[in-house]
Every structure is written in structure tokens, then in C-alpha cells.
Structure 1
């Protein structure tokens, strides 16, 4: 039966907040999926790219097979006719052009209308659904429709939380939101410097500085500190004002990119650091937010500025992947991100198969294994730092010298007592922390199943990144229907994988392919007769001492397989994972 409200609704709202916030949320809690409707749209488009020899038949077949697993249990696809027809179509195979391809288009159009309404109706008949699944479904569908994550976090989720909305209200509110059509938004982009001459001034949308200031005043916006050299107005159709601003940033990026191709005044088109949407009360940053591909080991290992003339494969990979965070244009971000993956995790000796071009998709699978092995310790590290209270667990944590030992203490707590003694009091994240603790408890009870699910989710995200790269480079297109969603879902995972590869290369001199092999073996052996623990999946196998033994109070046993990792004495926290925080004690706050 359905868990009791309001805890169930609070769980959903906490996860929605995780999915929509861009800063301060660990990669372990981000949204890695796209929704069923966008997945079908992506398949329909992929069939066309297959007909143009941009994607291979086996790549599209793999995509279609995974999509069946996503769509099959989706209640938004209906209970009978719509779901049955769609599954039959997917199982039969779809190519373009063909009657099946045209039927798929019709199925998508029918499924899109009332998708969340069907979810609401299904919950009234069969109320039980896991809160994680429901939160992912709502978040992915709204983001796929084009709503901006900041708008959903700041306005929609905040309103629901203030209203103490129950689960039914949350789903019905999401359905109402999804039914709204796009609105036309008037967006002003302004520049601090512009090229000399008449090329810009003669453009019909161009406004001199005086008109820019007047527009701001007419729209009730502050002009304090605004010193424009000119600007332009853009009418953008979008789901919300912040989504319109995001589209305006893409326009701005393209304008600046074009300005680098002129002979005189090359690079002289310099935008202001803010833009404005008519009707929205505040200025909005004109800089594209980071996509949160974080490689924290560079800083924690003291390697951020340690650049020598001798380049390494890590230097090359990080340079290739830099557009993931640094640039707003999706094409270079997708191409560079995948190039980094392929450069690190493929080898000429790899068996050539027909999975996707030359078997390079094996790099996606290898990186997914590394990410899955990184996930437990990253989340456990976050949770042990955020546990509050003057209790046995806090004392054991505070006596530990390394994050490995701290996570081992929490793992023992989960194995011995479950989540009942954990306390999270930090107001912004306490419900999210509680939900994460439940996921870790599921992991403790069935590590192979849970890690397989994590690996599969990461594999799908990375294979999508590879297909998007092929469309960009071989198809010459940056207008793919799922391009933005590809970057949104894969970037945090890419950062997590690069972080682990970088750490082991710098600290252990372990080659990326060897890290992948270790990850693959770890997923096969975890929880088995070797005693391999979920926090040691990427560690070198061998005899183990008992880490943190002196920090462990009487009666608190470390979990099997956590023993014995040699730590560099001068840098006890040199292995930060993704989620390392400033040590949190009862007298000290935490970052994140």
C-alpha cells in the first residue's frame, strides 16, 4: 500500500529539488534520465539518422531495446490500447522511411497529450509507486518539455512545499503545468562593447544605448550599474521566463561566435553579464551555468595548477571535455565530452563489433562501470558528514582520519541498524539526505542488483552522449531533439567518471583502462565470497588492515570487506570522491 503522507510527498518534493537545483547537489543525486516521451522522440529522430548512415542499425536497435524497458512500466502510457500498440511497434523494429516509422510519429503525438493526466488517474486506481520513480518521472517530463530547472525549483516546488501539497496534488499540479503552452517572451541582450561600423547598427533589432536604458525603465527594471554600448531585442517562445533566458543565451553565444570570424574588430562583441526578460522582475545572468561536470580530485590532490610542459593523457582529456562546463554551445560540448571518454577508455586492441561505429560504444560501458563503482562511497561520504547529533555514530566518525574510514563507519551502521538511528538536521537538505540514506540501505541489502541498476542508468546516458556526438560530427547537426537533455543528464556523470580516472592516474599511476577493468571486476565480485565491499570497488585488491579501528566505539563493527586501505599519511583525504565536504562536527558547519 502507499506509504503514509506527508512523508511520501516530502520525499517526492525533496527529490524534485535535487533534480532542479544546479548548485550544491552532489552528482549522486542528480537526474540521470530523460522521460519516456522524449525517449520516443529521440528514437524517431535516430531512425532518420540511421537512414543517412550517421547512426548504425545496431546502435538504433540497442536504443529501441532499452526504450522498451523504460516505456513498458510507464503508467503515463496508459493501461491498454496505447501501451499495447506502442510496445508491439517497438518490438517489431522501426526504420525510416517505413509505415512503422510513420506510425511511431502518431503514437508519440497521442502519448504526449495527457501524459501526466494518465499518471494522476493511474495513481487514483493503483496508488502504490516508489517515490523515487514518481519524482524522476515528473522531473524528467517537465524538463523535457522545456521548462527551466531554476524556474521549477524556485516557483513550482517552492509553492507546493509552502502549500503542504500531498502526492495527488503534486502530480495534478505537474499535469496542469505540462498542459500549458509556450508563451512569447521579449528578451533584451545588451553589450559592453561592439565592433565599430554599421554592420550592427543597421540590424533591425539593434538598439543604441539610450534605447536600451529606456526599455529597462519602461519595463520597471533597474538601470543601476548598466552601461551598455547597445543591445538587441529577441522574441522567444518558451515555457517560462528563465527558459526564455536560456534560449537567449544560446542566441548570444552564436552571435559572439560569429563575431570571431570578422576581419576587423575580431572578438569585439562583448556582452554584458546580465540580460532581461520583460515581465520578470530581476536581471538574469547572461553566462551559461556550469553543467556540473566536476573533477574534484584535481584540487583535493593539489594538482589543479600543477601543469608541466609534459602533457599527459589526463591533460588531453580534460582539455577536450572543458566545453562541457565552459561553453554554452551544445555541439562542442557533446563532441569534446565524448572525445575525452573515447581517448581514455578505448584501445586499438578492442574487439571490433557492430554495437556502434567501430565498437567505440565500449567506452560508454566502461565509464558507466567506473561511475557505478564510485557511487556508493560518494553518497556515503556525504551522508556521514551530514549526520548530526551527539551519539555513537558521530563519535566514531569524528575519530576517523580518512573519508574511506568515515564511509566504512556509516556502512556498518546501515548493516547493523538500518537508517533508524541516522539524524539529518540541515534544513535545506535534510529530507534529501534521508532519501539518500534509504537508497544506501537498499544498496546494503542487495548490492549487486542496485549497482547493476546504477550502471545501466549511466550506460544509457553515456551511449546517448555517443549517439549525439555522431549526429553532431557525422550529421553536422546541432538541433537534435534530445541534445540539451543529453548534456543535462550525462555531464555530472561524466565529471564523476573523469574524477575517478584522474585520481587513480595521479595517485596510483593506474591507466584509465585498468581502472575500468577494476570496476568491471568489482561489480562482478561485490557482496560475494571475496568479501569485497561497496566502498572498495575501485581499490587495489589485497590484504586489508582495519581502517578506523581506533575510531570505532565498542560494539560497532566495520562491514566485511572494508578493511585495509593504505592512505598517504600526508594527505589523509586525498581520495575525495565527488561528495567530500568540509569535515562536519557538532561545532563545525559543512559545505554543500
Structure 2
């Protein structure tokens, strides 16, 4: 249980072991909010209907949502009219407000039953609930590692419930700057600006040490679940300051110091937002990161730079502000994975379907490859030597797959990742036993997440809003999946020149034939 909690609450967990969905209650909050966006024609009715259908299936697996009576009530709500003035939408509001209290306590009770839910499902539900409530990745990692790694599932969920019940606190964060254009003039009258002469006394208790180039700083107050999240909020505010300054004619650049100080927390804290985990690793693997502009650059004319165009659109995905990250990520997928002949209804959402198929086809090899890298050398054991002799990740993944299918012992390294790798072996055992059912279920989960990105993009672009209730959570879970899709597209094009839509069709076909005699091995679904 705590193994998967650690995976799900780390910003550095690879995409194939991260959370792929927001939690049940944030999903229902998004659905409730969607009524107003359908009314304003920001979201289409077809988009809302698919959203309701997916939640009917996904929340049906949530054992802590309630008993059979509550589940039936929710099904009736999801299958009814949710337009903004409907009684059914008002019922949804009552349902959310009534069922949210005691959610984690119900999960604690479920894990003590004679036939408890799978640890994977429990950990996913608990972690997503805490993250959706506003806890940061770093804060939850610190909380778990503070003596809770060895707790039973029941005890760690009870502890999580106590954490959730604590609510938010107000944090004061001092953010120093090295450069602010016209600082003397433009900071006059700002109550939250301080200089070295009027810095608050509480800084001394934080082991404060001024940067040698520091000219002063802002003290921000943020309501957050943990101080790490408060620092992320401060980082967002600094980005807004920098954005405003770009529209000034004063010249100069806003430069913040690398560390900030939080009242009541000893020592400096790095000023950074959580990395969203979107990576295109094939660029480095194929030594293509810097291979830009190698030929003569001509104005106009045909270009084969569609990969770079998509990567540029998605460049803000990891650390950029929410609006450009959401809109840029979707634009990248849409530019690569749609064509004029696609059905016009429901719009370009087919990009989410194709991206999900690409990522689902990549999942097994990613997991098996990660396991292969964790096999340790042992005297008299040839597995590690055999793996080292294989020429590429595909063959190493196939080798591990054969061991898993045969039920052979796999000697894993005795390190901090051990339990996570053991859990991955269990997942791969399930995949290899029934490839079609498991991979198509995975594809549905991925598609639901990427369709959430499509809805968030519509709210940003067509609704002009960045305050949607689920936008931040949606970006948190979708960003690594967008990175994985872009990685597969980039790799296929760089290595073999495979056109994007041909690759997407291959993924669709191979998912439909996964596990049968016509279908390829689960390690080769994109080849």
C-alpha cells in the first residue's frame, strides 16, 4: 500500500507508474461545473455525455463511494440530464456534499474486510484524494516517509484521514529578488514589499541568509495544505510578476533569488513549481536534442519540422502557467493526431483517443524495461548477464516477459525501488495472462484522462477561464501521458520515418488484436 502511495505522490515517478486520473470527488465536481460550460457552448453535449459515461464506469470501481443504494443513486444521476437548471444537477450537488465526509474512513474499513479491494486501487484512490485536496507531491512524500512506510493499509489510511481533516493553514513566504526594474518607484506603497532594513523578525528564526545580490523581496501569504504547496503558490505569483513586467516599457528583467523562506520552517526552500513529468526521452536517446538547423534554412517552402512544431507548442507543459500548458499540450496532440477527414463530431477529441492508444501500447514495454534495469548480479545467476548481452530495450523487455510468464524468480536489486518493482511484476503478470482485456482497460483510463485535457483546453480557450475546479488536477495527471505520446511519435519518426497517423492506426489495430495469434507480443505493439 505505502509502496504505491510513494509512487503516486512523487513528481519523479515515470509516467507508467503515476496516477492517470483525478479522484472521484474532483471528477464529480468537474461534472457539476460542466453544466455551466455546456450552457455557454464551451463544451458540447456529446463531450458531456462521454464524461458521464466514463464516470459511471470509473466511480463504479470506487468501493468507498458508498453502499449499493448510493451507487444506484449516482448511476441515476449520471444517466440523467445535467443541464444547468436541471433538478438532476441539483441532486448531484447534494450527493457530492453528503458523500465526501468520511471518504477515507470508509476506505480504511474496506481494507479490513475478508476480501479487501486491490492495494493498487486503494492507494490510487487515497493518493488522488489527497492531491486533489491540495496537498503537494513533496509534502505527501515527506509525510509518508515520516515513520509511515511500515504501517498497515488500515493504519496509513487512518493517518491520511487525520491529515485531510487538519485542513489548510496560512503560510507566509518571503521571496527575495535580485532585479526588479524601477523597484524604488514601483514598489512604493506595496504593503508586501520589504527591504533588508524592514525585513520581518521571523526571518531570523528561519536561519535566513541574504543573497549577496538581493535588493529586497515580497512577502506572500498563501493558504495551503502544506508549506511545500505554499511555495508552489508563491512561485506562480512570481511568474505573474514576470509576465506583467514583460508588458512594461521600463526595460530590464525580473530576476528572483533561487531560494525563499517560509515562516516557521527552518532553512531555505527552492523556489519552484512541481515538475509535471512530461518527458520526450527519445530525443536524447537518439542524440537528436541539438540537431536543429543542420541544413540550409529557406523561407517558406515545404518543411519536415512538424515534430518540432508540436514540441514547441507543448514546451510549457512541465513548468509553465496553467493556461499555456493546457492549451499548448492539446494543440500539440491535435496537430499531430488529427486530419481533415476525421469525423467532425465530437470535434478534434479523436486526438485523445489516438494518443491514449499510443500510450497504452507503450505501457507494457515501459514497465518490463524498468524491471530489467533493476535486475541485480548474483553469483551463479545468468539473468543479469543475459540481459547485459541483449542489444536493446525491446529484447530486454521480452526476456523479462518470458520470465514473468514462466513464474520464474527475478532477482531484483535490494534498493528503495524494490517494492515498487515487485508491484510492477504483478501488474505485468496480469497483462501477460490476458493482454486484450488489461490493455484495453488501460486504454480507457488513459483516454478518460486525455479527454479531461480536451475539456480543460476548451474551458481555457473558449471559456476564457483558468479557474476551473479540475484544471490543475487534470494537468497534473495528463501531462506525463502527453509526454509519453509525444515520445512514441518522436521515436517512430526519428528511427524509421513512420508517419504519425500510420503509427496511430498501428496502435489501434494491435490493441484490437492484443493476445490473439494475429497480434504482436505486448512488447511490440507499435512495431
Is residue 2:292 matched to residue 1:300?
no
Whole-angstrom distance in 1 between the partners of 2:6 and 2:203: 32
CA contact (8 A) 1:61 1:93 kept: no
Partner of residue 315 from structure 1, selected from 308, 312, 318: 308
Partner of residue 334 from structure 1, selected from 294, 301, 326: 326
- The Cα of 1:432 is off from its aligned counterpart by 0.3
Whole-angstrom distance in 1 between the partners of 2:395 and 2:464: 49
Q: Aligned residue for 1:205?
A: 192
Whole-angstrom distance in 1 between the partners of 2:477 and 2:114: 30
Give matches, 1:43-442, under 5 Å: 43-161=31-149, 164-196=150-182, 197-212=184-199, 215-217=202-204, 219-223=205-209, 225=211, 227-265=213-251, 268-308=253-293, 309=297, 312-327=305-320, 329-353=321-345, 355=346, 358=347, 360-390=348-378, 391-416=381-406, 418=407, 420-442=408-430
Q: Aligned residue for 2:512?
A: 524
CA contact (8 A) 1:38 1:144 kept: yes
Q: Give the paired residue count.
A: 516
- The Cα of 1:80 is off from its aligned counterpart by 4.4
Inter-CA distance 461–301: structure 2 relative to 1 (3 Å threshold): same
Please identify, of 471-480 and 231-240, the stretch whose mean Cα deviation from structure 2 is larger: 231-240
CA contact (8 A) 1:274 1:286 kept: yes
- The Cα of 1:247 is off from its aligned counterpart by 1.4
- The Cα of 1:93 is off from its aligned counterpart by 2.8
CA RMSD, 1 decimal: 1.6
Normalising by structure 1, we get a TM-score of: 0.84
Q: Aligned residue for 1:542?
A: none
CA contact (8 A) 2:317 2:329 kept: yes
- The Cα of 1:73 is off from its aligned counterpart by 3.0
Inter-CA distance 519–150: structure 2 relative to 1 (3 Å threshold): same
Give matches, 1:560-579, under 5 Å: none
Q: Aligned residue for 2:300?
A: none
Normalising by structure 2, we get a TM-score of: 0.95
- The Cα of 1:464 is off from its aligned counterpart by 0.4
SS in 2 for 1:60: helix
Whole-angstrom distance in 2 between the partners of 1:252 and 1:269: 9
SS in 2 for 1:189: strand
Whole-angstrom distance in 1 between the partners of 2:456 and 2:257: 31
Gaps of 5+ in 2: 298-302
SS in 1 for 2:206: coil
Deviation by residue 1:99-155 (Cα, 9 ceiling, x = unmatched): 222221121111221111122233344551101001101100000000111111122
Deviation by residue 1:211-263 (Cα, 9 ceiling, x = unmatched): 3475521x332315454211111221111111111111111111211111111
Deviation by residue 1:425-455 (Cα, 9 ceiling, x = unmatched): 2411000010011111111101111111211
SS in 2 for 1:263: coil
CA contact (8 A) 2:510 2:519 kept: no
CA contact (8 A) 1:519 1:537 kept: yes
Please identify, of 247-256 and 334-343, the stretch whose mean Cα deviation from structure 2 is larger: 247-256
- The Cα of 1:39 is off from its aligned counterpart by 0.5
Q: Aligned residue for 1:565?
A: none
- The Cα of 1:512 is off from its aligned counterpart by 0.9
Whole-angstrom distance in 2 between the partners of 1:181 and 1:97: 32
Deviation by residue 1:45-75 (Cα, 9 ceiling, x = unmatched): 1111111110001101110111111222322
Whole-angstrom distance in 1 between the partners of 2:198 and 2:19: 42
SS in 2 for 1:75: coil
- The Cα of 1:531 is off from its aligned counterpart by 5.0
Whole-angstrom distance in 2 between the partners of 1:125 and 1:27: 31
